[in-house]
Amino acid sequence: MTWLIAFKGKSGFSAKNTAEDVTKEVDGHGLTAIITGPTSGIGLETARVLALRGVHVVMAARNVESATKCKENIIKGCPNATIDVMELDVSSLESVRNFANEYISKGLPLNILICNAGVMALPFTLTKDGIESQFATNYLGHFHLTNLLLDTMKNTAKNCGKEGRIVIVSSELYTVTYKEGIMFDKLNDKKSYQSYYAYGQSKLANILHANELARRLKEEGADITVNSLHPGVIATNLSRHSSCMSVCVFGIARHFQKNIPQGASTTCYLALNPNVKGVSGEYFADNNVAKLSRKARDPEFAKKLWECGMELTNSK
């Protein structure tokens, strides 16, 4: 049971609303969406609800076998669902490139890109690209994926006359980061690493990425919106690497957390609800626009991160 004190915002929705609530009566037929991290938690619920609304869902998953089982379970509850499974490990730039190339070669349209996959509070590790794992998985892989698929999204929006939407799952923990916000000069430094700060750093990067991409697309006149979001405090396997103390704290607070359908609601709201048409470069929580810290709103900081992302992805 979840005990949430929630008030409806300007959208007419609150923290209590589920993903089905915020997409009720929305017809997603004719739309195609990619969802990363679709095999558990809010990613799986997002895939289910989008498929329920008629969207052609592409489950971009590291574990294809697990994703295939999830696909089968969704279809049991929604026999008319259109779902494909493709392999993608967002922590690997090579995997991201392979996925994008395969997707483009299929000639599929792309209306909605949901950057959902993530890890939390890992012990210090480097990916095979030599990038700190949380930064690589939560931010850099999605940055690269988005850039590689942008032309496909632009062409889809132009051809079908429907706005494209990019949804980036961040976290309110973006405020719990290093003093510098993002340690550009020490991203892969083991001595400076603190697992929770590194998580907050990656989630701040998600927001800055969304803001800068939104700015660039507006400037270009592309019919694509980009927004980031905080899904809420949710009991999922994301915190499986957390300390015993943190697990205890989350356990005590479990009655005040959102359940998974509520946690997926803001993602689905941004992906499908007509009320956010034309809204871009915003940060949402509980299905409403939320305030950001000064650092997260800093356009120069966002540009610096963009340059860092381009350098890292082009050098691998």
Which residues have a catalytic role annotated?
A: 193
C-beta of residue 257 within 8 angstroms of C-beta of residue 237? no
Pairing state between β 82-87 and 56-61: parallel
The two structure tokens encoding residue 107 = 């000639």
Please state the φ and ψ torsions of residue 49, each to the nearest 5 degrees.
Answer: -70, -40
In the chain, what is the straight-line distance between the N-terminal and C-terminal CA atoms, in Å?
A: 47
- Smallest CA-to-CA distance from 13 within 219, 285, 240, 256 is with 285
C-beta of residue 244 within 8 angstroms of C-beta of residue 178? no
In sequence order, what E strands does the chain have?
32-36, 56-61, 82-87, 112-115, 164-169, 224-230, 283-285, 288-289
Rounded distance between C-alpha atoms, residue 97 and residue 299, angstroms: 28
CA trace torsion 226, 241, 239, 197 (10° rounding): -50
Sign of CA dihedral 180, 185, 187, 189: negative
Instruction: Calculate ∠ Cα 211-217-222, nearest 5°.
Output: 145
Rounded distance between C-alpha atoms, residue 284 and residue 227, angstroms: 8
